[in-house]
């Protein structure tokens, strides 16, 4: 899934997704849950190894 597709699914700007991926913004738990839902993965799967 591209950043543009993900941003569309979670109703946010693609630049926000880029900033999240690069660690330039703090993400809310609510938005993080929206992202994992859109990616069809669990939060623990996303955070595995961190």
Burial track 4-42 (b if 16+ CB lie within 10 A, e otherwise): eebbeebeeeeebbeebeeeeeeeeeeeeebbbebeeee
- For residue 34, what are its two tokens? 């929206």
Residue 25's nearest CA partner among 45, 35, 9, 39 is: 35
Q: What is the pLDDT of residue 18?
A: 96
Beta strands in 1-50 (DSSP E): none
Digitized pLDDT (tens) for each residue of the chain, 50 residues in all: 999 999 999 999 999 999 999 999 999 999 999 999 999 999 999 889 88
Q: What is the pLDDT of residue 17?
A: 95
Q: What is the pLDDT of residue 2?
A: 95
Residue 39's nearest CA partner among 24, 21, 23 is: 21
Q: What is the pLDDT of residue 50?
A: 83
Q: What is the pLDDT of residue 44?
A: 93
Q: What is the pLDDT of residue 21?
A: 93
């Amino acid at each position: 899934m591209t950043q543009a597709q993900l941003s569309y699914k979670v109703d946010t700007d693609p630049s926000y997704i880029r900033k999240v991926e690069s660690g330039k913004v703090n993400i809310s738990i609510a938005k993080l849950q929206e992202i994992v839902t859109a990616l069809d993965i669990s939060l623990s799967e996303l955070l595995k190894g961190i």
